[in-house]
Amino acid sequence: MGLDLEKLAEALDTTPQGPWARPVRLAHETAVAAGVAAIIAATEPGWPPPVAHGLAIIVWTLAVVFAVEYVLRLAIAPWAHWAHRNEPWRARWHWAVNFAGIVDLAGVYPLVTLALGVTPEKAQLWGAMWLLKLVPYAPGLDLVGRVLKNARRTLMGLLLGFVMVLVVAATLEYVFEGTAQPQTFGSVPRALWWGVSTLTTVGYGDEVPVTLLGRVLAGMVMLCGIGVCALWTAILVAGFSYEIRRSEFLRTWEFVARVPYFQNQNAAVIAEAAQMLRSSDVIAGEAIVRRGEPGDCMYFIVTGQVSVELKPQPRILGPGDFFGEMALITGEARTATAIALTNCELLHLDLADFLHLEARHPDLAKIIEAEAKRRREEPVRASL
């Protein structure tokens, strides 16, 4: 039984390293899309009975499938990469109360509500929670989570300030407008709706002060709302910018460390190079540089193969090779065209950064120049 569960855990592994990760992801996305579409369509009145019955079959079939999947994932939790094999029940409990388990539990909501006595038409609406099952496949949401986590203290402080302004504004508006508009501002709770819509700059217009002091206060609240929204935006933009730069730096660092010409360098040199180098993905058949173009950068190949179109025969370059350095060293135009034979991951170094790197790290520059000299002396010139 243990061996069967271990194989099942391998088959249901949704991490990128899982052998069935892509098929499982495609099945999830297709099932969720079909189920949510059927739920939405079922709320439209006037369907012929066969169509309405078919939509209900789709929804409840998927509800049963997702419930079975939840039970299976709970059973295979001890074989997850993070679990302790000698504590199966603790692993299952950890998975059940973790975000992944709560997300998968969303697949069971329609059946749970149906068992609690809710009508099938209302119970199946809980199937909209199936959209949560797509969260693990959205790396952008993970980025949002990191940004909110890093900025939580600042955001909570700003939220506290928002609440303080809201309560004070609603209280004062109750004092100024309570007599003139008792239905709208006759109590602080009633005035809070006006405060929320005004501070968030929505301003529906359904509640408008009519007294002089009420309008003056409303103008001040509007200005405070603009300021609060601007601060929230600035904090989130700064957080997203930092996380994107951090992710790009880590990705570039990984690429740089895999290039042989940087492997013998210390961490400081790799970090400096990682800040200068820019990663790019090239699809098979795309021309990276063309003969006659001005040479403003050189390229390092991380993965893939590149064909340098030279005569009498092209030169094939692979991971760890670089090209385009001659245009930087001599200042001449490109002398050959480079075409990606396969999908490639490249790092390119601009002329200004090359000169800076050459000045700060002569030993690294000597490696590049020595390789360029070797290529010049070959019968088949492979420089660009």
Q: Is 146 inside any structural domain?
A: no
Q: What is the CATH number of the domain that holds 230?
A: 1.10.287.70
What is the distance between the alpha carbons of residues 109 and 10, in angstroms, rounded to a whole number?
A: 26
Residues 22 and 106 in one domain: yes
Please determine, for residue 380, whether its predicted confidence score (pLDDT) is greater than 60: no
Between 11 and 290, the more confident residue is: 290
Residues 215 and 272 in one domain: no
Q: Is the dihedral of CA 164, 166, 171, 172 positive or negative?
A: positive
Please determine, for residue 90, whether its predicted confidence score (pLDDT) is greater than 60: yes
| Mean pLDDT (whole number) for 280-303 | 86
* 146 Cβ neighbours under 8 A, 6+ residues apart: 243
pLDDT in tens, 241-281: 888 878 777 777 777 776 666 666 777 777 777 778 787 88
Residues 221 and 273 in one domain: no
Q: Is 384 inside any structural domain?
A: no
Classified as helix, coil or strand, 261 is helix
Lowest-confidence region among 20-34, 82-96, 177-191: 82-96
Residue 3 binned pLDDT confidence (cut-offs 50, 70, 90): very low
Q: Is 258 exposed, middle or buried (0-12, 13-18, 19+ CB in 10 A)?
A: middle
Q: Is 157 inside any structural domain?
A: yes
Q: Which residues pair with 287 in a beta bridge?
A: 339
Residues 227 and 288 in one domain: no
pLDDT in tens, 212-235: 999 999 999 999 989 988 998 899
Q: Is 304 inside any structural domain?
A: yes
Between 322 and 42, the more confident residue is: 42
Q: What is the CATH number of the domain that holds 44?
A: 1.20.120
Between 70 and 333, the more confident residue is: 70
Residue 1 binned pLDDT confidence (cut-offs 50, 70, 90): very low
Residues 157 and 229 in one domain: yes
Between 85 and 171, the more confident residue is: 171
What is the distance between the alpha carbons of residues 120 and 316, in angstroms, rounded to a whole number?
A: 64
Please determine, for residue 375, whether its predicted confidence score (pLDDT) is greater than 70: no
Please determine, for residue 384, whether its predicted confidence score (pLDDT) is greater than 60: no
Residue 45 binned pLDDT confidence (cut-offs 50, 70, 90): confident
Residues 13 and 126 in one domain: yes
Residue 376 binned pLDDT confidence (cut-offs 50, 70, 90): low
Residues 296 and 169 in one domain: no
Residues 164 and 84 in one domain: no
Between 12 and 34, the more confident residue is: 34
pLDDT in tens, 107-133: 788 888 888 888 888 888 888 888 888
**The predicted structure's pLDDT at residue 293:** 85
Q: Is 299 inside any structural domain?
A: yes
Percentage of the chain exceeding pLDDT 90 = 14
Please determine, for residue 339, whether its predicted confidence score (pLDDT) is greater than 50: yes
Residues 11 and 109 in one domain: yes
Please determine, for residue 182, whether its predicted confidence score (pLDDT) is greater than 50: yes
What is the distance between the alpha carbons of residues 220 and 172, in angstroms, rounded to a whole number?
A: 12
Residues 185 and 133 in one domain: no
Q: Is 57 inside any structural domain?
A: yes
Question: What's the structural domain count of the chain?
Answer: 3
Q: Are strands 337-340 and 287-289 parallel, antiparallel or unpaired?
A: antiparallel
| Domain endpoint, select from 106, 137, 168 | 137
Residues 359-380 as b or e (16 or more Cβ within 10 Å = b): eebeebbebbeebbeebeeeee
Average pLDDT of the chain is 81
Q: What is the CATH number of the domain that holds 336?
A: 2.60.120.10
Residues 127 and 13 in one domain: yes
Residues 189 and 86 in one domain: no
Q: First CA to last CA across the chain, in angstroms?
A: 61
Q: Is 198 inside any structural domain?
A: yes
Residue 73 belongs to domain spanning: 2-137
Q: Is 161 inside any structural domain?
A: yes
Lowest-confidence region among 10-14, 95-99, 237-241, 316-320: 10-14
pTM recorded for the entire structure? 0.59
